[in-house]
Amino acid sequence: MKFSPYVIGLTTVLVSTVLLSTAGVMTRLVAMDSATILFWRGVWGGAVLLAALLLLAPRQARRDFFRLGPPGWAICLLTTASMIFFITALHRTSVAHVAIIFATAPFVSAAFGFFLLSERPGRGAIVASLAALAGVALMVGTGGTGGLFGDFLAVLMTICMALTNILMRRFPDTPVLMSAGISAVLGSLVTLPFATPLAAATGDIAIVALFGIFGFAFGLGLLLYGARLLPPVETALIGALDAPLAPLWVWLLFNERLDAVTMIGGAVVVAAVCLHVLADIRRRSTETAAA
């Protein structure tokens, strides 16, 4: 059975969202500041990813590196910046504020897609994005007290991720895994002056290594791959599932109770994404059959 690029894109972005949503679990498990987390996560994630590329296909890895070009390096820099903004924002403002700000990503992506790629988002995608935003707003309520600087970082993260989606859509031949590996290494280099890597406990480093390899490196690689195959607004819409998934993992692993409002809001987000995706797949199948 041959799957369409659209279905492959949906699947890879969904899996990447699940993997990247575990960042909150990692920060709960370790006693590190944001700079040290970013350093070790980048070291392990980037080293494993780049080493695998060099060992399994050394010639292809070298070609991919020199094939990055300005778009590829722009993607690397934007991805690095978004990860730094994200982890730092979690330490400077409430998780609720970060969630509600990131939930605007579909609209930011739609705006960039319209002005930069002339892609007009469908009515269904806009309605689903509004429903997802309403669900996140219901989940977090007022969001408690948050820091203005942390909120600003969350806004920058959202803009960087939206621009990354746009560039991957515009330049689909960009080497995905090479971009993800370089982004991880760049994150380590940028945060090293502010980190205290040798002061971290061995157990904490091992935990960050695990999440850095599987949660970050592979998650980011899948996201960049899937973003090539989907309209930017849909990539961001699926990414909005991070809002209900992050507290779900905390509840499952740390037995932290979720109140009814949080569960209802999370259900709204999941329903909005699922209904839109199913409707879009059905529409595309009908168009293919008619053709």
pLDDT-derived band at 288 (thresholds 50, 70, 90) equals: low
Q: How far apart are CA 155 and CA 136, in angstroms?
A: 16
Q: So what's the pLDDT on residue 137?
A: 74
Q: So what's the pLDDT on residue 146?
A: 59
Q: So what's the pLDDT on residue 289?
A: 61
pLDDT-derived band at 139 (thresholds 50, 70, 90) equals: low
Once rounded to an integer, what is the mean pLDDT over residues 252-262?
Answer: 73
Once rounded to an integer, what is the mean pLDDT over residues 84-92?
Answer: 84
Q: So what's the pLDDT on residue 135?
A: 77
Tell me the range of 57-71, 227-241, 263-277 where mean pLDDT is highest: 57-71
The domains of the chain are located at 5-290
Write the pLDDT tens digit of every residue in 266-284.
778 778 877 777 777 677 6
Q: So what's the pLDDT on residue 230?
A: 85
Once rounded to an integer, what is the mean pLDDT over residues 88-108?
Answer: 76
More confident residue, 23 or 153: 153
pTM: 0.78
